[in-house]
Amino acid sequence: MGREEMPIFTRSYDLLVWLLEVTRHFPKANRHDFTKRLLDAAFDLREYLEDANLKRGATCLNRLGEADEALARVRFSLY
């Protein structure tokens, strides 16, 4: 029996897909700079989660902390 993927990976992927679609419709004046910052934070979130999944112990916790910070940047950008 194979391992099921954790919901955080599915949800973070869905978030990236959604953000890529939504940012295409941002006003032209804001599209480049704002979109870059937002997508960088979202991709960082996904990268840190994937990395944390491969690590153990203190390194895993460190990556999860970085993922939390990236998520906070995404949230800040969306509000």
Q: CA nearest 40: which of 59, 60, 19?
A: 19
Query: The pTM is what?
Result: 0.84
Per-residue pLDDT of the chain in tens (79 residues, 90 and over written 9): 445 678 999 999 999 999 999 988 888 887 788 899 999 999 999 999 999 999 999 999 999 999 999 999 999 988 8
Q: How far apart are CA 25 and CA 49, in angstroms?
A: 27
The residues spanned by each domain of the chain are: 33-79
37-54 tens-digit pLDDT:
999 999 999 999 999 999
Residue pair 26/35 in contact (Cβ under 8 Å)? The answer is yes
Query: What does the block give as tokens for 72?
Result: 């906070």
The closest of 78, 68, 69, 3 to 34, measured between CA atoms, is 78
